[in-house]
Amino acid sequence: MPQGSKEISELTVLSIFAHPDDEAFGSGGTLAELVQKGHKVTAVCATNGDVGEISDPALATPENLWQVRQEEMQRAMAVMGITDVRFLGYRDSGMDGTPDNENPACLFQADPSKVEAEVSALLDELKPDIVFTHDPTGGYGHPDHLTTYQRATAAVEAMTNDRPHLYYVCFPKSNFRKLWQEMTDAGITPPFAKEEMEKIGSPDDYLTTVRDVSEYVDIKKESLNCHQTQLDPNGPFSAMAPEFMTAWMSTEYFYLNQPKGGGSQEDILAELP
């Protein structure tokens, strides 16, 4: 345990991701489990998701999407039982190579030392036992995912005492292959081309922790459904058989980052009762 004096029954957890809904896809079941078992979870969102999708124009406009997505995040976290929800307030940077990357207010353009200082302040205040964030691939290379991973990692690795267990949320390449094949077999056009599939996701041998969250998958799905602006009712995921998607969402994958310069940490997620 990072603090030594704490029991596994009273963990403090910091979840820090780039956009509203990022927390749900890869770690929603684990976050729900932690809350249900009495642990304290703080959810932090680095951006407001300003340039995300708008599934239905009745839900939001490009001008107020940031506010709507904050509200969706609050509702999603309420489903999980997380009451401490915070936003760093940066503008969504959009996909790689788009004009949104150049907006001076976006996370991608933010001074790294400023963002790291904000994360460090959270670490000092909360003194978490566990930190969850994006993995080094960013899932599919989104600039905000990569930036959040970099700044959170730098802040944790700068700590000299009581370093938390830093877990990267992973999306294994084999899972994307399985999803692509399942969609193709069902006559559904996947959201990415087959040749692009090898460029996204985490290498399978990168994983340290695989968790069965089937007991909490209904909470995970209900929380994810709060992000209505991002859920395309006519999209490929909505067209998939519900039982397949439930099974697909019932396992979550993590990589435990070990301290540099020696020493090691036990896999605290594997020890949850």
Q: Is the pLDDT of residue 42 over 60?
A: yes
Token representation of residue 183: 């969609």
Q: How many other CB atoms are there within 10 angstroms of residue 264's CB atom?
A: 7
**Residue 196, pLDDT score:** 77
Q: Is the pLDDT of residue 273 over 80?
A: no
Token pair 């993590």: residue: 254
Q: Which candidate, 99, 28, 92, 104, places its Cα nearest to that of 65? A: 92
Token pair 């907006």: residue: 103
- Gap between the Cα atoms of 30 and 110, Å rounded: 30
CATH architecture of 8-256: 3-Layer(aba) Sandwich (3.40)
Q: Is the pLDDT of residue 261 over 80?
A: no
**Residue 7, pLDDT score:** 56
Q: How many other CB atoms are there within 10 angstroms of residue 191's CB atom?
A: 14
Residue ranges of domains in the chain: 8-256
SS3 for 124-168 is HHHCCCEEEEECCCHHHHCHHHHHHHHHHHHHHHCCCCCCCEEEE
Is-contact 213 29, C-beta < 8 A? yes
pLDDT band at 141 (very low <50, low <70, confident <90, very high): confident
Token representation of residue 94: 């959009």
Where is average pLDDT lowest: 85-94, 170-179, 249-258?
Answer: 170-179
**Residue 2, pLDDT score:** 44
Average pLDDT over residues 80-109: 96
Q: What percent of the chain has pLDDT over 70?
A: 96
Q: Is the pLDDT of residue 109 over 90?
A: yes
Average pLDDT over residues 134-163: 94
- Gap between the Cα atoms of 106 and 64, Å rounded: 16
Q: What is the mean pLDDT of the chain?
A: 92
**Residue 105, pLDDT score:** 96
